[in-house]
Amino acid sequence: MRDYLSRLLGQRYQVETASDGQIALAMIQQRPPDLALVDVLMPNLDGFGLLQKIRSDPRVQTLPVILLSARAGEEARVEGLEAGADDYLVKPFSMRELMAHVETNLQISHLRHEIVSKEQDARTEIERIIEGIADPFYALDNAWRFVYINRKAQEMLGQPRETLIGTNIWDTFSTAIAPQAYEQMQRAIREQHPVTFETFSDFLNSWVEINTYPNDLGIAVHFRDISVRKKAEEAARIAQEQADQERQRVLDIFTSIGDAFVSLDREFRFTYLNRRAGEIYGQLIGRPPDSFIGITLWDTFPGSYESDFGVTYRQVMSTGIPAQLESYFLPFKTWFEVRVYPSKDGLSIYFADVTAQRKAQLALQVAEERLRMIIDSAKDYAIFALDREGRVTNWNTGAERVFGYSESEIIGQDGAIIYTPEDRAEGIPEAELSKAISLGYSENERWNCIKKVAVSMQVEWFALSLTRAANFRVSQKLPVIQPIGNWQNNVIGCYKP
């Protein structure tokens, strides 16, 4: 049989023969062939024994083996295939049948080797890529055993990958894996869906992002250290909290200040109103404060565009120079005092309703004008005013008649000029001025000096303290003193009627 097969196959292939199973095994192990034809009935080591030895040797376990047997039937064929044979050929067989089986199995073996080679190349390329990944990566089978660990994962786990391959991750790192990691990886396997999560690893003392990719054979795990990002996020969170607190502090300040405050964007739309501004606007047009946000000033207050306020706002927006004005807004019949400041986002406007102050100021001006007219018309009484330093600020016609000084001469002079030298030496002018300022009045009867005659006269006078804009004015009122003249019309004295 050996010679017959050698002649048949030798025409197309290089053939080597062995007289028994032991010799055949040694030849196969020493120089593995492309295919082995094994007779079941061989001495020393039969065909099934040789087949078992081949399949248990990693060096040749993929060798294609065709069993040759005289046993026919499906049961014998199944027995041979179950034993590990690639094909089963029943003797006797024709040369054509033998050649067909040999060629088919050689082609299958060749294809298998190509596939294995390509798979190995692909695996090698994948491993090369995974090894080059800067982040740790490992793969587990369905029993949670390590089947692959890249270099970065080996460094992270702190053990050689050769030691870890084949070990169960939960047994090997029972205390190192965070509960969240265990739960998420179990969920990925259970749901067969990728899961990504972040957790703090006590084992690594750092924050990690873990990406799990389940498959039919197990699960692949890729993770990376995100401690730097977490620190940056925490710093950003703290900074945002501080910014929010500062913003709230500023808003509280704006809310608490007495003046109304609003901010406008560069399109003159309201972006903020404090409580006082909301109160004023609400009283004027009957709308809640939040209804103004996002609406332009011009739409909110018709007529404001061409008003003094609108002109000033547009000027500050274009020039970037702060401005201040006080003007009357006719549609509301209200006086406003406004301070306008440019900002990078638009305008900051402080304003106050000063209608009451303006009315009071106008009333004061009217009263002062009436008083001035009364004082100027009082020809028989000397009425004049001093400032807090005692300088003359007002001098009526009666004062000019009594003391002889014209208004142009006396205004700005020290009021002590009408006191006698003795009184000035004793500080009487200052004392009476101080008394008028502190008590609101001062009165006395004393000698005073007049300009046109070198005499002193005793007058009764009364000083009244008036207050306006933190400036005290002291007015003096003297009864009319009649001069006493001689035959030459020189004044030699005076009397009070």
Encode pLDDT of 129-143 as tens digits: 566 666 888 899 999
For 39-62, what is the mean pLDDT? Answer: 89
Q: How far is CA 333 from CA 155, 259, 304, 365, in A?
A: 81, 19, 13, 20
Between 190-199, 405-414, 442-451, the lowest mean confidence (pLDDT) is in 442-451
What confidence category does residue 74 fall into, taking pLDDT thresholds of 50, 70 and 90? Answer: confident
Between 21-30, 235-244, 295-304, the lowest mean confidence (pLDDT) is in 235-244
Q: β-strands 392-395, 137-141: how paired?
A: unpaired
Whether 153 contacts 137, CB under 8 Å = yes
Determine what percent of the chain is predicted with pLDDT higher than 90.
20
**What pLDDT score was predicted for residue 41?**
86
- Cα-to-chain-centroid distance, residue 25: 76
Could you tell me which residues come within 8 angstroms of residue 314 by beta carbon, excluding any fewer than 6 positions away?
Answer: none
**What pLDDT score was predicted for residue 480?**
40
Give 418's DSSP letter. Answer: G
**What pLDDT score was predicted for residue 347?**
93
- Cα-to-chain-centroid distance, residue 197: 24
CA atoms of 87 and 93, how far apart (whole Å): 14
Apex CA 320: angle with CA 314 and CA 321, to 5°?
95
Residue written as token pair 């927006």 = 317
**What pLDDT score was predicted for residue 494?**
42
Closest by CA to 279, choosing from 294, 261, 265, is 261
Task: Give 126-134 contacts, CB < 8 A, sequence gap 24+.
Answer: 133/222, 134/224
CA atoms of 356 and 30, how far apart (whole Å): 117
CA atoms of 252 and 187, how far apart (whole Å): 49
- Dump the DSSP string for 327-355: EEEGGGTEEEEEEEEE-SSEEEEEEEE-H
Could you tell me which residues come within 8 angstroms of residue 114 by beta carbon, excluding any fewer than 6 positions away?
Answer: none
What confidence category does residue 230 fall into, taking pLDDT thresholds of 50, 70 and 90? Answer: confident
Could you tell me which residues come within 8 angstroms of residue 416 by beta carbon, excluding any fewer than 6 positions away?
Answer: 390, 424, 429, 430
CA atoms of 474 and 472, how far apart (whole Å): 7
